[in-house]
Amino acid sequence: MRRIAAITRSPLIVAFVAGLALAGCASKQTPNNAADLGLSGGAGSGIAATPGSSQDFTVNVGDRIFFDTDSTVIRADAQQTLARQAQWLNQYGNYGITVEGHADERGTREYNLALSARRAAATRDYLASQGVAANRIRTISYGKERPVAVCDNISCWSQNRRAVTLLDGAGS
Amino acid sequence: MMRFLKTCIAIGALALTGALVATMSARAQLQIDVTQGVVEPMPIAVTDFLSSDNVGAEITGVIEANLRRSGLFAPISKSAFIERISNPDVAPRFNDWTVINAQALVTGRVTQEADGRLRAEYRLWDTFSGQQVVGEQYFANRQNWRRIAHIISDSIYQNLTGESGYFDTRIVYVDEQGPKNQRVKRLAIMDQDGANQRTLTDGSAIVLTPRFSPTRQEITYMSYEGGTPQVYLLQIETGQRELVGNFPGMTFAPRFSPDGQRIVMSLLREDGNSNIYMMDLRSRTTTRLTNSNAIDTSPTYSPDGTKVAFTSDRGGRPHIYVMGSDGSNPTRISFGDGSYSTPVWSPRGDLIAFTKQSAGQFQIGVMRIDGSGERILSTGHLQEGPTWAPNGRVIMFFREASGSAGPTLHSIDLTGRNEQRIATPNFGSDPAWSPLLE
C-alpha cells in the first residue's frame, strides 16, 4: 500500500535563524487545526512566524496532507509537504510528533478507523524515509470522528481525508 | 437482576385443559405471518388495565405503543370501544369487540401486594372464536412498571405471531452532542422504546461502537480514554470497566461471541494494516484469525460460534468475507456493485445484515450467509451500523440526512416496509440491541 516516490525538494524552505534557541518558546496557542483559522495546509504563505515554532511549522511548512477517496497513497503534492516537514523536523530535532490519520464521512465508522490508521502509518513511513527518526513519531487514527470541515459536498470531504502532523506539546 | 414471577392464570369458568385447547385452536385462527410482511396490521383492542391509580392506563399505553411500532398491529382507538371492562376475570362480550373489528382483545388488572409490589394480570382474547388465548400474571416493584408492559407486549407478540418478542430489551448507543468537529460522545443506554435514558460514560473521551453481550448485561466498546484507542468491557449494573487485552496499538471493532466468553476485534499492525484477533476473556489468550496486508475489520460471529464474517479490502474494495472461527477458509460472499461493510450476523443464523455504499448512497441490507438473496431495506445519504433485535426480525441502525446536524436512530423490519425513528434526547449513533432481559 505504501508508495514512496522520489521527492523534489521544495524551493520554499526559508532559512531559519536562531530557530533552535527559540524552539523552547514555541507558542502554545497554535490551534490543533490550522484550517479552523482559515490557514491553508500548503506551504509558503509567507506569514511571519518565529522560526522553529509550531506556528512556523503549521503555516510555513504545512502540517497536513490530503488523500484521494478510499486511498492511502501519498500523492505528489503530499510528498512535497512531507519533504518540507521532514526537513524542518530534522532541523528542529527536539520535537516529537503525532501523526493523526483522518477519513471523510463517506465510509463506515470501523472501516474508516482502519483506513485512517493506514493513512497515518503511510505518512509516518514517508517521514521516516526522509530521515525523521521513527521513535519521534507516534500515530493515532480518528476515522471520521474529527472532521475539520463540516459540510456536505465533495470538495469539503476532501479536506477531511487528511493526515495531520502535530508537534508534541504544541497542540492538543 | 430483578426477577419477574410469571404464572399462568386460567379464567374462572374454563378448566385448565380447556384453556389449553382453546389456546391451540385460537392460534390456528389468530396468527400473523411475520415473514411475508404485513400490509394490513392486525386490529387489536388494548383496554386500560383496571387499577386504583393511573398505573394500569400507563402500562396499557406502553403496550399499545410497542404493538403499533412493530408494524404488525393496529391498536384501535379507545373511543370506539363499546364494552367497558369492569371485571377482567369474566369473559368479555365478544360481539362488542368483533363489531368494531378487534380481532384480538387485551384485558387486565393491576393491584398492589401487601409488600408493595405490583401484581399485573393480563388476558389475551381471540374475539372471533370467543376464546382466551393466554392469561398470565406478573409481580414487580412499582418502579419497574414499564418492564411489566414490555413483558406483556412480548407475550402478546409471541402468542399472535409464533415468534419470540423483543420489547423487553435495551439499546446501548453513542449519545452525540456539540459541533460536529468537536463532538462529545458518550455511551448511553435506554429501553428499546427510548424510555429510561441514562449515560454510561462522562464524555471526556471519544467512545464508539458499543456492543451487547448476548448473555450478560455487559458491553464491549472502543474508547480513546487511554491515549491509544482501545477496546474495553463495561459491566452495566456496576459500572466496572476494564481494558481488553494488552496490545501495543489500536484495537477496535469489538464483538462478543455467542456465549459471551470471547471477543473478536481488529488490531492495528505496525505497518498500518488491521488484522482480526479473538481474545478468550477467561484464559486471556489471544488468537490471530487473519493475516493479510489489507484492512480486515468488523468481525461478527455466527450464532453457533463456528464462523466469523468480516469486512476486508483484500480484493481492492471493501467486501464481506466469511471464515471459520479459527480463521480457516476465508471466502468472499458479497459480489454486488459498490462496497460492503459492517456485516452483522442475525441471531437466528439465517441472514447477515450489512452496510453498502453504492452510487453515492448508503444502504442497509440483508443477505443469506452465502451472499445470495441480497435485499436492500433502506437507502439514504449516510446510514450504517445495523444491529439485530434478539428475534432476528427487526434491525436498528443510524442515519444522517444530507445537510443535517447529526445522526439519529431508526428501526426497520425485515420486510423493509416499517421504518420507525427511535427518539433520543440528543443525536445518537452506533445502536446495539440487548438480548431479552431476564
The per-residue pLDDT for B180 is: 86
pLDDT tens digits for range B154-197: 999 999 999 999 999 999 999 999 988 899 999 999 999 999 99
In angstroms, the Cα distances linking A22 to A25, A26, A53, B196 are 5, 7, 7, 56
- Which residue among A114, A122, A149 sits closest to B297, beta carbon to beta carbon? A114
- Spell out which residues of chain A touch residue B297, defining contact as CB-CB under 8 Å: 110-111, 113-114
Instruction: Tell me: pLDDT of A17 over 80.
Output: no
Q: Are B387 and B408 in contact (CB under 8 A)?
A: no
Residue B436 near residue B176, CB atoms below 8 Å: no
What percentage of chain B exceeds 70 in pLDDT? 92
Per-residue pLDDT of B381-433, as tens digits, reads: 999 999 999 999 999 999 998 877 899 999 999 989 999 999 999 999 999 99
DSSP state of B16: H
Amino acid identity of B216?
A: R
Using an 8 Å Cβ cutoff, are A67 and A43 in contact?
no
From chain B, the residues in CB contact with A141 under 8 A are: 229, 250, 268
pLDDT given at position A12: 32
Residues of A in contact with B429 (CB under 8 A): 109
**C-alpha cell at position B313:** 479490502
Q: How far apart are CA B32 and CA B97, in angstroms?
A: 19
Contact B275, B286 (CB under 8 A): no
The rounded mean pLDDT for chain B is 91
Q: What is the DSSP letter of B162?
A: S
Q: What is the pLDDT of residue A150?
A: 76
* Nearest partner of B62 among B130, B108, B96, judged by Cα: B108
| pLDDT band at residue A16 under the 50/70/90 scheme | very low
pLDDT of residue A36: 41
Long-range contacts of range B17-22, CB-CB < 8 Å, 24 or more positions apart? Answer: B19/B132, B19/B135, B22/B129, B22/B131, B22/B132, B22/B133
SS3 label, residue B187: strand
Residue A21 scores a pLDDT above 90 = no
Q: Which chain A residues are closer than 8 Å to B206 by Cβ?
A: 142, 145
User: Would you state the pLDDT for residue B39?
Assistant: 66
ipTM of model: 0.90
pLDDT for the residue A170: 54
The candidate with the shortest Cα–Cα distance to B270, out of B287, B247, B254, is: B247
**What CA–CA distance (Å, rounded) separates B81 from B58?**
18
What pLDDT score was predicted for residue A33?
A: 42
In single-letter form, the type of residue at position B397 comes to F
Which CA distances in Å does B57 have to B52, B53, B78, B165, B196?
A: 10, 8, 11, 22, 18
Distances (CA, A) of B394 to A11, B72, B347: 60, 12, 11
- pLDDT value at residue B371: 97
Looking at residue B334, what DSSP letter applies? -
Q: Tell me what the mean pLDDT of segment B148-159 comes to.
A: 97
- What does the pLDDT read at residue A25? 32
CA distance B353 to B295: 20
**What is the rounded distance in angstroms from the CA atom of residue A1 to the CA atom of residue B294?**
8
Report the pLDDT value the prediction gives residue B405, as an integer from 0 to 100.
85
Kindly report the average pLDDT of chain A as a whole number: 77
Test mutation, A1, A106, A111, chain B, max B CBs within 10 A: A111
Residues found in chain A: 172
- What's the pLDDT tens digit per position in A115-127? 999 999 999 999 9
Nearest CA in chain B to A154: B360
B235-278 pLDDT tens trace: 999 999 999 988 989 999 999 999 999 999 999 999 999 999 99
Query: Which band of pLDDT confidence, cut at 50, 70 and 90, is reported for residue A35?
Result: very low
Q: Tell me the average pLDDT across B79-97.
A: 95
Cα distances (angstroms) measured from residue A126 to each of A94, B57, B139, B167, B274? 19, 67, 66, 53, 19
Size of interface A-B (CB pairs under 8 A): 100
Cα(B54)–Cα(B124) distance, integer angstroms: 21
Q: With CB atoms and an 8 Å threshold, state whether A121 touches B341.
A: no
Are the C-beta atoms of B362 and B382 separated by less than 8 Å?
A: yes
B155 interface with A at CB cutoff 8 Å = no
Residue A23 binned pLDDT confidence (cut-offs 50, 70, 90): very low
> For B1-25, what is the mean pLDDT?
39
Phi, psi of B419 (to 5 degrees): -105, 140
As beta bridge partners, residue B96 has: none
Interatomic CA distance for residues B148 and B108, integer angstroms:
12
